[in-house]
Structure 1
Amino acid sequence: MELAPGVRVAVTDRHGGVSAPPFGSRNLGGLVGDDPEAVRANRAGVAAELGVRAVVFMRQVHGAEIAYVSEPFGDDPPPVDGVFTTEPGLALASLGADCPAVLVADPHARLVGAAHSGRPGTAAGIATALVEAMAAKGAEPGRMVALIGPGACGRCYEVPAELREQVASRVPETWSDTSWGTPALDLRAGIEAQLRAAGLPEVRHDARCTIEAEELYSHRREQPGGRFAGLIWLT
């Protein structure tokens, strides 16, 4: 779908690939135990379906490091959780199986970025770091628009009380309770708060909960399992 003029985004699901169970069938994650040839075929299929020249996949480590890219990393990507580019037709992928993707664009500056914002990354401010890195290259937060992808929702993402305290001490908006009354984290609310504080006027959502949406992979619901992707690119 179009996120902004000249900017497209997509969220894959688990269907339409070649991976065998328990990764069936469109697993895009290379570090979950799936057949590497199946993963390569799935990734190539996504690029062809989207009509992009290439897709950048990161080696996500739940950190807050950001890198500018003009080509894919290849078979040995560096440990980063955010990338951005000015290159048309180069799709940026954030893999997830409960961790939301953060897809950001300044359509005027022709800059797009993607980040993987799980619990550690949200606490570390990966979304803020992505906005700041893009701003250093000429983007303006007041012109940016973002999409937060599917993730474990604040009514399902149960955590120990001490962990909720720890994360909410950094990002208060993450404080939540499950639908059954136990401590939880709402990463989506925390990420939106970070983006708004960074100056973004427009934050959209693919609000599906990965734990509940069976068309998506969920690490909490099934192990072992695959990874889907949120992607953004310039047309």
Structure 2
Amino acid sequence: MRIRRVVTTREGGASAPPYESFNLGDHVGDDPAAVAANRARLAGELGLPAERLVWMEQVHGRTAAVVREPAPDKLEATDAVVTAEPGLALVVLVADCVPVLLADPEAGVVAAVHAGRVGARIGVVPAALAAMAEAGADVRRLEVLLGPSICGECYEVPADMQADVERHVPGSACRTRKGTPGLDLRAGLWRQLADAGVARIGIDPRCTNEERALFSHRREGTTGRLAAVTWVEP
């Protein structure tokens, strides 16, 4: 089965500053009409009906939902979504957190995960792996993309926070460009996935804080959200 993955940028949409311009987040204060236009454009660019896109109400938790049909609204309090239904596109929104896209091409099972500092710490990725297994995926066949997020050189945190995350997600602790305590969540998630038996892990190296074509909450405060989307082609 053919697995599709798409990551958007902030360019080419209908939103006005400070959300300019392809903001896909409906929870950040942007004009709802602009967000709706951007989401319609996303569906059109993907070649899918708008109702075939599955959105989450992301709350930095570890709830993983399995969906088998289009959701009439966004999934409440959900940070990971799994499906084995072809043509059902799973969307994760970020502006510094790590978007994680997973797939078992043989079983036709895909997942989209919102893994920020809190979600990674409490185990949202293992929860997604467990939900994928229940849907028929085999961890040994998984292909994973860790999408653009804030990099360890930019993600400065207090030393006690760094130590706490490192205890839960080993490999995350690092030093920032300034030599202060930092977190590299993609490095920690890579290790977590590898320890779980995932052999094929790709990383989009772009840093949301450094790349102006991407949204970054740390850089801008009030800003939009980019999307990472995955689906199985019908």
Pick from 208, 211, 215 the counterpart of residue 210 of structure 1: 208
Separation in structure 2 between the aligned mates of residue 228 and residue 196 of structure 1, nearest angstrom: 26
Alignment of 1:58-77 (within 5 A): 58-75=56-73, 77=75
In 2, the alpha carbon distance for the partners of 1:89 and 1:17 equals 24
SS at match of 1:19: coil
Quote the residue 2:16 is aligned against: 20
Judge conservation of contact 2:24–2:226 (CA < 8 Å) in 1.
yes
Q: Which amino acid aligns with 1:157?
A: Y
Distance (Å, rounded) in 2 between the aligned partners of 1:154 and 1:74: 37
Of 45, 64, 79, the residue aligned with 2:41 is 45
Aligned length: 231
Query: What letter is aligned with 2:195?
Result: A
Please name the residue that 2:229 is paired with. Answer: 231
Distance 1:72 1:24 in 2: 28
One-letter code aligned to 1:64: R
Is the CA contact (8 Å cut-off) linking 2:176 and 2:182 kept in structure 1?
Answer: yes
Structure 2 gap ranges (5+): none
Secondary structure in 2 aligned to 1:220?
Answer: helix
Deviation track 1:152-177 (CA, whole Å, cap 9, x = no partner) reads 00111000111101111111200111
Deviations 1:182-215 (A, max 9, x none): 0100100111111112211100011100000000
Q: Structure 1's 138 and 77: CA in aligned 2 closer, same or farther, altered over 3 A?
A: closer
Answer whether contact 1:58 1:73 (CA < 8 A) is retained.
no
Residue type at the aligned position of 2:129: V
Shift of 1:90: 1.3
2:158 to 146, 160, 167: 160
Shift of 1:76: 5.0
Cα pair 1:104 1:145 within 8 Å, conserved:
yes
Identify which of 60, 74, 79 aligns with 1:81: 79
Q: Which residue of 1 aligns with 2:30?
A: 34
**How many percent identity over aligned positions?**
50
Give, in whole Å, the separation in 1 of the partners of 2:196 and 2:109: 16
- Structure 1: gaps spanning 5 or more residues: none
Instruction: Name the SS for the 1:61 alignment partner.
Output: coil
Contact 1:56 1:71 in 2 (8 A): no
- 1:124-203 equivalence runs, <5 A: 124-203=122-201
The worse-fitting range, judged by mean Cα deviation, of 129-138 and 101-110 is 129-138
| Structure 1 residues 84 and 76: alpha-carbon distance in aligned structure 2, compared to 1, 3 A threshold | closer
Moved over 2 A (4+): 70-77
Distance between the aligned counterparts of 1:177 and 1:102, measured in 2? Answer: 23
Q: Give the stretch that moved more between structures: 190-199 or 73-82.
A: 73-82
The TM-score, its normalising length taken from structure 1, stands at: 0.96
